[in-house]
Amino acid sequence: MSDANGFQPSPNDIADQIRCLISDVDGVMTDGRITYDDQLVESKSFHARDGLAIKLWMRSGFGFGILTARKSKIVPHRAGELGIDQCVQGFEDKWPAAEQIMRHIGCTPEQTCYIGDDLPDIAVMRRVGLSVAPADASADARDIADWVLRTGGGQGALRELVECLLKAKGRWEEHVPT
């Protein structure tokens, strides 16, 4: 990510512009596995540290949205628990849905960070100010991501990302108890 003069912004410069964070679900907020019981009831597991990180991000005055190609009753329930009002499901072409979330939050693509893990996420990842992939994302997603996290999907990847962004903005310490 360099400009015409070859200038490459530092991670802190990139993080400073981010006002909106949009996340995929399966493979980011979860480990990507989809489990059904004998009654064909779907279940997902979410990491508690990711939930706390999302709340800290929003308490810091920034927007958060969920964008997933699949539809599940579990996802809007989790969004509601966390106070997320932008939860868009069922869009295989994710870019128009991402634009909808950004408009609602009032951010431009340059002010947006998107975290995704596989092919359906790449169209959004290519168009935002900061694209991020969990450590266990597909090779295609990792290859185009600006940042690749150390943490895997469903294992606290969002916590790692939010902590990194808030530290770069000088906003992390306000959330650490003294």
Binding-site residues for Mg(2+), please?
24, 117
How far apart CA 65 and CA 29 sit, in angstroms, is: 12
- Report mean pLDDT in 10-residue bins for the chain, 178 residues: 48 84 97 91 93 97 97 95 96 96 97 98 97 98 96 97 94 92
Task: Supply the Cα-derived Rg of the chain in whole angstroms.
Answer: 16
Binding-site residues, please?
24, 26, 117
- Whole-prediction pTM value? 0.92
The number of residues making up the chain comes to 178
Binding-site residues for substrate, please?
26
Main-chain phi, psi angles of 161, to 5 degrees:
-65, -50
Residues with Cβ within 8 Å of residue 139, at least 6 apart in sequence: none
Domains and CATH numbers, the chain: 12-170 (3.40.50.1000)
